[in-house]
Structure 1
Amino acid sequence: MITQETLEGYYVTIGRLKQKYLSEKFEQDLPTFTSHTEAADWFRSLFADSFVFVEQTDAAGTGVYYLYDIIHDKTIWEARQKSLSEKGTASGLGMLLCTQRVDIYEDGSVQLAF
């Protein structure tokens, strides 16, 4: 069961900077959700302000789904956001892996990027 106390055990380190990233085991151990709202609320309770809404998008004519990011490295994420707003692009060591994408569908199903 995923809790604040067990969360650290779900991380692996990847990339040249050895950044923390949630493993596929995390996705496998997620609770079963019945709606987008239920899933998003659960993620917010676990990650607080490190779980951010990105956008709502169409799921190939079958409805909508919601894209979120889990911020794993706030310092790099803030530098990336600043670069995006000032230059329109962001590149640099660690910028790609400072967040992890979470897609949540209307029915509560969840898919993480690995």
Structure 2
Amino acid sequence: MITPQTLDEYYVRIGRLKQRYLSERFEQDLPVFSSHTEAVEWFKALFQGSFIFVEEMEGANSESYYLYDIIHDREIWERRERDLREKGQANGLGMLLCAQRVDIYKDGTVHLAV
């Protein structure tokens, strides 16, 4: 069961900087959610200010789903966001893995980028 106390057990270290990233096991152990709202509330409670809304997307079947990021490295993430705003692009060591994408569908289905 994923709780604030067990969360560290779900992280692996990847990339040249050995950044923390949630493993496939995290997605497998997620509770079953009955709605988008329920899933978002659960993620916000677990990750607090490190769980942010990115945008709403339309799927192939015209069903909307929502993209969120879990920020794993706030310092690199803030630098990436600043570079995107100021330069229109961001590249640098660690920028790809500083956050992890989460897709949440209206029915509560969750997919984690792993």
TM band (smaller chain): over 0.9
Structure 1 counterpart of 2:34? 34
Structure 1 counterpart of 2:64? 64
The two structures have a TM-score, normalised by structure 2, of 0.99
Cα offsets for 1:39-88 (capped at 9, x unmatched): 01100000001000000010113410000000000000000011011001
Cα offsets for 1:7-57 (capped at 9, x unmatched): 000000000000000000000000000000000110000000100000001
Structure 2 counterpart of 1:99? 99
Distance in 2, Cα, partners of 1:37 & 1:62: 19
- Counterparts of 1:50-61 in structure 2, within 5 Å, are 50-61=50-61
Amino acid at match of 1:84: L
Distance in 2, Cα, partners of 1:7 & 1:52: 18
The Cα RMSD (Å) is: 0.5
Amino acid at match of 1:5: Q
Q: SS where residue 95 of structure 1 aligns?
A: coil
Structure 2 counterpart of 1:74? 74
What percentage of aligned pairs have identical amino acids?
A: 67
Distance in 2, Cα, partners of 1:49 & 1:84: 20
Distance in 1, Cα, partners of 2:47 & 2:26: 13
Q: SS where residue 97 of structure 1 aligns?
A: coil
Gaps of 5+ in 1: none
Q: SS where residue 40 of structure 1 aligns?
A: helix
The two structures have a TM-score, normalised by structure 1, of 0.99
Count matched residues: 114
Structure 1 counterpart of 2:8? 8
Cα offsets for 1:79-109 (capped at 9, x unmatched): 0011011001000000000000000000000
Structure 1 counterpart of 2:108? 108
Which consecutive aligned stretches of 4+ in structure 1 deviate over 6 angstroms post-superposition? none
